[in-house]
Amino acid sequence: MATIFTPGPALQSNSSEQNRFMEKLMAKILSFYDEQSLIDVTFKVSNPTAVVPAHRLILAAASPYFENLFRGEQGNNPVIEINDIDSDTLERLITFCYTGEAPITVNNVGAMLKAAIVLQLNDAINSCVDCIMKNINGYTLQAAYTLERETQCERLKQKLIEYEIKNFMEISRGVEFLSFDVEKLQRILESDNLNIPREEDAYDAIKRWFNYDVPARQEPLPHLIACLRLTQFDADFLLTHIQPLPGCELLAFKAISWIREPAARTKISMRFTEPRATCEETFLVICRSEMNYKLLQYNKAEDKWQEYASLEIDYTNYWPILKDENILFIGGYKNGVSCNIVRSLNIRNKTWQNLPAMNQARRGHRVVELDGKIYAIGGLEGNKVLSSVERYTPSDGWEFVSSLTVGRFDASAEILNGKLYVLGGRNINGALKLVECYNPDSNTWTSCADMTECRVSLHVRVHKGHIYVLEKYSANQSSQSVERYDPERNTWSKICCLNAEWARIENVFSFDNKLWSFGHPKHDDISSVSVYDEDNDRWVKKCSLPNVDRYTYNIVPVALLSSK
Query: Phi and psi of 286, rounded to 5°?
Result: -90, 115
Q: Are residues 211 and 110 both part of a single domain?
A: no
> What pLDDT, in 10s, does the model give residues 402-436?
999 999 999 999 998 889 999 999 999 999 999 99
Task: Say if residue 48 is in the same domain as residue 112.
Answer: yes
Residue 332 placed within a domain: no
Considering 242, 267, 292, which residue would you say is the last residue of a domain? 267
Lowest mean pLDDT among 199-213, 215-229, 276-290, 550-564: 550-564
- What does the pLDDT read at residue 31? 86
Task: Give the CATH number of the domain where residue 213 resides.
Answer: 1.25.40.420
Rounded Cα distance between 191 and 199, Å, is 12
Whether 521 contacts 528, CB under 8 Å: yes
What are φ and ψ of residue 205, in 5° steps?
-65, -40
* CA distances (Å), origin 324, targets 129, 168, 195: 29, 11, 10
Residue 295 lies in a domain: no
Q: How many domains does one find in the chain? A: 2
Q: What is the 3 state secondary structure string of 77-115?
A: CCEEEECCCCHHHHHHHHHHHHHCCCCCCCCCHHHHHHH
User: For residue 193, what are the contacts with CB-CB under 8 A and spacing of at least 6?
Assistant: 165, 166, 276, 277, 278
List beta partners, residue 498. 480
Same domain, 137 and 99: yes
Judge contact between 465 and 418, C-beta under 8 A: no
**Residue 451 clears pLDDT 70, i.e. is over it:** yes
Burial class (CB in 10 A: 0-12, 13-18, 19+), 505: buried
184 within some domain: yes
- Phi/psi for 336 (5° steps) reads 75, 10
Nearest to 111 by CA among 129, 89, 132: 89
CATH number for 59: 3.30.710.10
Q: What percent of the chain has pLDDT over 90?
A: 48
> Which residues make Cβ contacts (< 8 Å) with residue 555, sequence separation at least 6?
281, 282, 283, 284, 322, 509, 511
Residues 35 and 139 in one domain: yes
Asked whether the predicted pLDDT for residue 479 surpasses 60, the reply is no
**pLDDT attached to residue 287:** 80
- Parent domain of 140: 21-150
- Contacts with 86 (C-beta within 8 Å, 6 or more apart), sequence order: 45, 46, 47, 48, 111
What is the rounded CA–CA span in Å between residue 309 and residue 327?
Answer: 13
Last residue of a domain, one of 232, 250, 267: 267
* Residue predicted with more confidence, 516 or 118: 118
Domain membership of residue 380 (yes or no) is: no
Name the more confident of 352 and 546. 352
Burial degree of 129 (CB within 10 A; 0-12, 13-18, 19+): buried
Q: Note whether 70 and 134 are same-domain residues.
A: yes
**Does any domain span residue 186?**
yes
Q: What rounded mean pLDDT belongs to the chain?
A: 85
Q: Is residue 433 part of a domain?
A: no
154-166 vs 182-190: helix axis angle to the nearest 10?
50
CA dist., res. 361 & res. 161, Å (int): 43
Domain boundary among 267, 291, 316: 267
- Do 211 and 146 share a structural domain? no
54 with 134, same domain: the answer is: yes
Asked whether residue 166 is domain-assigned, the answer is: no
Helix (H), strand (E) at residue 540: strand 538-541
Rounded distance between C-alpha atoms, residue 522 and residue 519, angstroms: 10
211 plus 251 within the same structural domain: yes
* Residue 466, SS3 per DSSP: strand
Beta strands in 272-378 (DSSP E): 281-289, 292-299, 304-311, 319-323, 326-334, 337-346, 351-355, 366-370, 373-377
Residue 261 near residue 525, CB atoms below 8 Å: no
Higher pLDDT, 281 or 1: 281
How far apart, in whole angstroms, are the C-alpha atoms of residue 408 and residue 424? Answer: 8
SS (H, E, C) 194-210: CCCCCHHHHHHHHHHHH
In this prediction the pTM is 0.55
Residues 135 and 197 in one domain: no
Q: What is the pLDDT of residue 513?
A: 63
pLDDT at 386 over 70: yes
Identify residue 291 by its one-letter amino acid code: M
pLDDT in tens, 205-254: 999 999 999 999 999 999 999 999 999 888 888 999 999 999 999 999 99
CA atoms within 13 A on the CB side of 292: 6
50 and 130 inside one domain:
yes
Is 394 a member of any domain?
no
84 and 182 co-located in one domain = no
Residues 6+ apart with CB under 8 A from 56: 40, 41, 66, 70, 75
Q: Are 142 and 192 contained in the same domain?
A: no
